[in-house]
């Protein structure tokens, strides 16, 4: 019974730590996030396609079948892949924040009120943030050899917001880029 309580407390501490890190990363980073028409035109989910496969279990299964395999080699590969994956997540988060900032600027400068867009923006920000929290937790577990990480829903949310931004950009601004 005591070991179950200790395990639950350890899991709770890890979850709180991951949540704190994600919230800190999702908050303001103090860096300027320039949004230009050129950046919007170049913005694509294609740059995040590799991360959809980066933590795929097929690579680990192949590694296990090779001569000279050791659990230490797998642990090193997991660690390296997790670091690369975190770099992709930071980039995805920064791009998502830029898109949201651009949408907020468009709404603020619009001659029309857009409560539908404001509602969608808030909804997608909540979904994105909760998805990032889930991914961070799953990434910690994956690093320990438990479970998998699926980032497709967060990439899809980003793509929806990216497309919304592209439709709202004035055509003359985009054409000038």
pLDDT tens per residue, range 48-81 = 999 988 888 888 888 888 888 888 888 888 899 9
**Whole-number pLDDT of residue 23:** 66
User: How far apart are the C-alpha atoms of 154 and 149, rounded to whole Å?
Assistant: 11
Domain extent, residue 87, equals 2-176
**Whole-number pLDDT of residue 68:** 83
Q: CB–CB of 26/132 below 8 Å?
A: yes
Mean pLDDT of 148-165: 93
Return the H-helix or E-strand segment holding 108: helix 71-109
**Whole-number pLDDT of residue 88:** 95
When divided into structural domains, the chain yields a total of 1
pLDDT tens profile 85-130: 999 999 999 999 999 988 988 888 888 888 888 899 999 999 999 9
* 3-state DSSP helix/strand/coil % of the chain, to nearest 5: 80, 0, 20
Beta carbons within 10 angstroms of residue 175's beta carbon: 10
Threshold 0.85, pTM exceeds: no
- Compute the mean pLDDT over every residue in the chain, rounded to the nearest whole number: 83
**Whole-number pLDDT of residue 21:** 67
């Amino acid at each position: 019974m005591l070991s179950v309580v200790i395990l639950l407390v350890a899991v709770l501490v890890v979850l709180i730590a991951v949540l704190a890190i994600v919230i800190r990363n999702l908050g303001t980073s103090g860096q300027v996030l320039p949004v230009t028409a050129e950046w919007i035109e170049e913005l694509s989910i294609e740059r995040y396609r590799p991360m959809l496969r980066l933590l795929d279990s097929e690579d680990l299964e192949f590694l296990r079948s090779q001569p000279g395999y050791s659990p230490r080699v797998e642990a090193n590969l997991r660690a390296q892949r997790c670091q690369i994956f975190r770099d992709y997540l930071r980039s995805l988060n920064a791009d998502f924040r830029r898109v949201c900032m651009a949408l907020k600027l468009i709404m603020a400068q619009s001659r029309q009120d857009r409560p539908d867009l404001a509602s969608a923006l808030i909804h997608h920000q909540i979904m994105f943030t909760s998805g990032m929290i889930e991914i961070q937790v799953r990434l910690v577990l994956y690093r320990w050899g438990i479970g998998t990480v699926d980032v497709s829903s967060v990439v899809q949310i980003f793509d929806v917001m990216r497309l919304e931004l592209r439709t709202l950009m004035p055509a003359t601004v985009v054409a000038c880029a």
